[in-house]
Structure 1
Amino acid sequence: MKKIVLLYTFLVSCTLFAQTSDTWTAFWNKDTTKIGFQDKNGVIKIEPKFTGFTIARKFENIIAVTEEENNKWKSYYLTKEGKIIGRDSLYTFDNSTDCESEGFIRFRDPKTDKMGLFNSKGTIVIPADYSALSNVKNGMLTALIDAKKEREQGDEHFFWSGGKELLIDITNKVLIDNFVYIRDLNFYSLEKSKEPSKDPIRENFKGVDGQYYSFINFEKEFKFWLENTLLKDLSKANLEKHSFDKITYWKEPDGWINSAKAKFINQNYTYLKLKLQELQNLKTDYFISSDGLNQFIFESSEYEIYFNNCNEAKDWLYPTMDIVINPKNKTDLGQDHFEFLRTENGYKLISVSTRQHNLK
């Protein structure tokens, strides 16, 4: 158990170090073409000059930026102290640059096309030896080494072929060799033991130190919670207990609407209960899809903690689980959706959309 304490202690100290007393926020110039940053009092710290791949909306320690100078693009990483590092080495994925995670940010070596990691001061803590790296989660990263980048003919997107997956820490120490990555792992639930965990919602991996690392699987956790907490008591009180303060629902022709949970459940209780009861029928055709909170729908301040400094969903901490129910008649179109958000207080119903029922 001593190792667990060390890992969590590192996370706490790293997080405290990364959280400066004054996080700067992005703001636009008058014609909304360039971004600058200001402190909590509105004092401008960086005049608007960034554009392009500058996606950070909050500046804690280190960000990726681009700017135009003399009709040429410059890209680099910038620390809070004004240090410029990693010129032309931005890591980009799906037309977005990386965002600081626990005080660290990824970069790509333009010569080797391999990835490494900067800390908050701009120092390389993991050299660019890897084909791919995840963002930092609880002081750990998943890494792919010695893989080849390939594309299907006519496809602009690439995929990795071969190589070996590892679990490493931010000192580049290998924790698990031949790590078979599972998307829904909660890295903040780490437990270590001499024997594999028997908890049915955990996944086990043997570390290079001979110990077993186990992590909660979000989807298994959700299914267990759904069967044993929600579906066993579909009363109004229990539904309300396990709902977000606001429930967002789809209504034609208005689109997405927010409603206080008590009002929404009271007005739609019969429908909600009947549809959720269907999940207990073995013949019901449904599936569960995991994702992150949609930043274009959930925009107000109460959702802010579920997004990172670049307004990307923190699905590695707060995933959404969408129950998608297909119609009984296979020729009918549409599906019913019940979306639950994982919060610090458990899973909460946060949005509903229906195939036919008129929610109110």
Structure 2
Amino acid sequence: MKNYIPFFLLIFLSSLTFGQNNDIWTAFPNKDTTLIGFKDKNGTIKIEPKFSGFTTAREFENIIAVSEEKDNKWESYYLTKKGKVVGRDSLYVFDNGPDCENEGFIRFTDRKTDKMGMFNAEGKIVIPAIYSDVSKVHNGVISVLKDAKKKRDPLGEHFFWTGGKELLIDLNNKILIKDFKSDNNLNFYSLQKSKEPSKDQTRDNFLGVDGQYYSFINYEKEFKNWLQNTLLSDLSKANLEKHSFEKITYWKEPDGWINVPKSKFIEENFIYLKLKLEELKNPKTDYFVSTDGLNQFIFESSEYDIYFNNCNESKDWLYPVKNIVINPKNEADFKQDHFHFLRTENGYKLISVSVAKDDLK
């Protein structure tokens, strides 16, 4: 992938000067694995095991969300590397898990107002709790939603936002872009700023409040362009192997997920793979592309570590997985073929396959 110099590098570096610490602490459990603490790189215990499993951080870099029992009550808060406690009972929780720091910043929720803000690595509030929703920090910028209304679905299990204003702000809470309509497919690390809109067809352009245009690569556009011009244009064995991850994971009954070297997988399944991918050239083929993150429960070995953050969450804002789903020709058949491509620093790579029929070897 092409590298871009982050536009907000100076802001980012100045904000993280205090947060840079090469001595990352690693989580470890107590004897019965009910609690976790943290050790430094030399194995010296820095925090005795006292945090519950709700504490999801595997590594303590600058600031983490923790939960511990005190006087028969559970307390949750944010803890900095220097031992500072902030944001008691103000954890930002999504999908039953607390937030994980990114670029030295972590989100919090003001329970009184139900608004969101952000702490820096020192536990200081850098973004006040005035927003309905706040994204993680990506390349020194933050996507926020302001003055929206929260509504629950008919079952009351989930909620969604209606109305409000979408904005792009920086770490000083300065508005960069008003009416920032984002579909969660933007690569914030590809930011370019110019007087005129970018003509790159894989980019989305936004007019900033300063009159300049901010453009970002759109992952969906990028992938479709790559698929047509790089992969489907040459479905040779060599090209398919070139654009595959070092190991391919595939589903096979009754064994489940199997992980094998790409050369072995492609050699044994090339004819089938080519025929299936050839279908994508036919305009009548019924297929779609969805976006997800790498599944942490399948890709568990160390070679995948760079694609997950300190809390074992997929870093899909940098390494999305594009899933090509081919629907069956027979409408009575509900099984689909899935081809998953992981975006890596060296381009998109085929990383896993599951097919409707048990035809993989």
Q: CA deviation at 1:156?
A: 2.0
Residue equivalent to 1:178: 179
Q: Structure 2 unaligned segments of length 5 or more: list them.
A: none
Amino acid at match of 1:291: D
**Size of the alignment, in residue pairs?**
357
Contact 2:151 2:159 (C-alpha < 8 Å) held by counterparts: yes
Residue equivalent to 1:254: 255
Q: 1:15 to 1:319 in 2, by over 3 A?
A: farther
Residue equivalent to 2:269: 268
Listed one character per residue, the Cα deviations across residues 38-77 of structure 1 (whole Å, up to 9, x for unaligned) are 1122221111100152111111000000101111111110
* Residues 188-227 of structure 1 aligned to structure 2 (within 5 Å): 188-227=189-228
Q: Structure 1 unaligned segments of length 5 or more: list them.
A: none
Percent identity of the aligned residues?
71
SS at match of 1:273: helix
Q: CA deviation at 1:13?
A: 5.7
Contact 1:52 1:67 (C-alpha < 8 Å) held by counterparts: no
Q: CA deviation at 1:350?
A: 0.2
Residue equivalent to 2:161: 160
Q: CA deviation at 1:178?
A: 1.4
* Residues 24-173 of structure 1 aligned to structure 2 (within 5 Å): 24-173=25-174
Distance in 2, matches of 1:334 and 1:153, equals 30
Query: Is the aligned partner of 1:297 residue 2:304?
Result: no
Deviates more, 1:156-165 or 1:102-111: 156-165
Compute the TM-score of the two structures, normalised by the length of structure 2: 0.96
Compute the TM-score of the two structures, normalised by the length of structure 1: 0.96
Contact 2:6 2:189 (C-alpha < 8 Å) held by counterparts: no
Contact 2:34 2:53 (C-alpha < 8 Å) held by counterparts: no
* Two-structure CA RMSD over aligned residues (Å): 1.4
SS at match of 2:8: helix
Q: 1:216 to 1:93 in 2, by over 3 A?
A: same
Listed one character per residue, the Cα deviations across residues 21-48 of structure 1 (whole Å, up to 9, x for unaligned) are 1111111111111111111222211111
Listed one character per residue, the Cα deviations across residues 307-359 of structure 1 (whole Å, up to 9, x for unaligned) are 01000000000000011111111111311111000000000000011111421
Amino acid at match of 1:229: T
Q: 1:78 to 1:36 in 2, by over 3 A?
A: same
Amino acid at match of 1:36: G
Distance in 1, matches of 2:163 and 2:28, equals 43
Distance in 2, matches of 1:152 and 1:240, equals 45
Distance in 2, matches of 1:6 and 1:342, equals 22
Listed one character per residue, the Cα deviations across residues 142-201 of structure 1 (whole Å, up to 9, x for unaligned) are 111111112234322111122111000111010001111221111111011111111111
Listed one character per residue, the Cα deviations across residues 210-259 of structure 1 (whole Å, up to 9, x for unaligned) are 11111111011000001000111111111111000000000100000100
Amino acid at match of 2:221: K
Contact 2:11 2:171 (C-alpha < 8 Å) held by counterparts: no
